[in-house]
Structure 1
Amino acid sequence: MDVEQARTSQLRNIAEATATPLDEWYARVEAQRAQGMRHGQLVAWLKSEHGLTHGNANALVHAAAAASSTDAAPADLVAEQYAGGKAEMRPVYDRLVEVAQSLGGDVEVAPKKTSVSLRRSKQFAVLTPASRTRIDVGLNLGDAPADGRVEQTSGMCTHRVRVASVAEVDAELEALLRAAYDRA
């Protein structure tokens, strides 16, 4: 049995054991994600509120994210993120992607439903349109200190920089993206 078959079998077993279809689980997970829960919080929620084991909760969160990210083409996902009131932030997003891609030919830009992952061998940054006036740039910088505009966070990204304009995509932010890229 290969990895994909094992994953499919695990998800089928979750649905059977809980008598809840996977689509319903995915909807529940995505509803919590839309309220701001991150991966680890979603896993903890599934364990505490629904009695799932850690492995099953983790698999379900990953599967829900994959299911929601494949509903539309990548360009459509980005267009949806920067539609309506967030449209003015699209040039900021475009500049951030341009800077990320200049770091090396191995940068993968992977749009999801509510954010865009920047990956190399692993994710090094996440671009999230947080509001009509701001994009949050999540960075994987390990135990680097937070100072100035760099905030310490928890979860997959260890740091965050809030960016409100193209001008704020400056040499300091480019250096931070480079540091995160180099760690990936």
Structure 2
Amino acid sequence: MDKATQTMIDNLAKNTGKTLEQWIAIVTKENFAKHGEIIKFLKETHGLTHGFANLIAHKAKGSDAGSAENPDELITKQYQGKESLKPFYDKLMSTIAEFGKDIEIAPKNTYVSLRRKKQFATLNPATKTRFEIGINLKGQEPSGILEAEKPNAMCSHKINLTDISEINEEVMGWIKLAYNNAG
């Protein structure tokens, strides 16, 4: 398990008075089908932050990289039916890897989280024709291709791509800025 996830699990017990296992038992009893239903329940019924609710939801559903036997399987699964978007991921990752050796790649069921000391970006084949990059740049005004994300989202901004040629200096500049701010 990565250090950031372990810290969150440790803080979960300190901040909520319940361990991860206790929260998973609460969620399991409710028999939710979807990740989003778990998050909504935990935030609205128990007042948890989005980060803690997301952690519990992933652990309860076994949809995080730490729960997967092979994290690469999660990435493969993300692109089933969206194969045309896999080159977007490959191109982005090859350039992002040049930023530094301190990037943690954490695949989830539907996206890949990129972290240093904290998450700086997510890579998500959102639909069959749209690739979404989530970026954490709190306080940054949306500009150019950088759009504001809805409140309480895992990232503060997003960039939507529909053609691989849109992965350009502007896109990589925003990701690099988020990377630098996350260190």
- TM-score band (shorter)? 0.7 to 0.9
Identity %: 30
4+ long deviations beyond 6 Å: none
Q: 1:108 to 1:23 in 2, by over 3 A?
A: same
* 1:38-82 C-alpha deviation (Å, 9 max, x unpaired): xxxx2x53353xx33537x96454122133212341110000001
Asked if residue 89 in structure 1 is aligned to residue 89 in structure 2, the reply is no
- Mapping of residues 97-112 of structure 1, within 5 Å: 97-112=93-108
The one-letter code matched in structure 2 to 1:10 is T
TM-score normalised over the length of structure 2:
0.76
- How many pairs are equivalent? 166
- Mapping of residues 9-48 of structure 1, within 5 Å: 10-14=19-23, 22-25=27-30, 28=32, 31-33=34-36, 42=39, 45-48=41-44
Unaligned runs of 5+ in 1: none
Q: 1:24 to 1:75 in 2, by over 3 A?
A: farther
Deviation at 1:149, TM superposition (A): 1.6
Mapped to 1, the partners of 2:126 and 2:143 lie a distance apart of 21
Deviation at 1:118, TM superposition (A): 0.8
Deviation at 1:14, TM superposition (A): 4.7
SS in 2 for 1:68: coil
Deviation at 1:146, TM superposition (A): 0.8
Asked if residue 75 in structure 1 is aligned to residue 75 in structure 2, the reply is no
Residue matched to 1:140: 136
Residue matched to 1:178: 176
8 Å Cα contact 1:115/1:126 also seen in 2: yes
Unaligned runs of 5+ in 2: 1-8
- Mapping of residues 120-159 of structure 1, within 5 Å: 120-153=116-149, 154=151, 155-159=153-157
The one-letter code matched in structure 1 to 2:10 is V
TM-score normalised over the length of structure 1:
0.76
SS in 1 for 2:34: helix
* 1:108-150 C-alpha deviation (Å, 9 max, x unpaired): 1111111000111111000111111111000011111112221
SS in 2 for 1:88: helix
> How well do the aligned residues superpose, as a CA RMSD in angstroms?
3.0
Q: Which has the higher helix share?
A: 1
Mapped to 2, the partners of 1:122 and 1:47 lie a distance apart of 21
The one-letter code matched in structure 1 to 2:34 is A
Larger-Rg structure: 1
- Mapping of residues 162-173 of structure 1, within 5 Å: 162-173=160-171
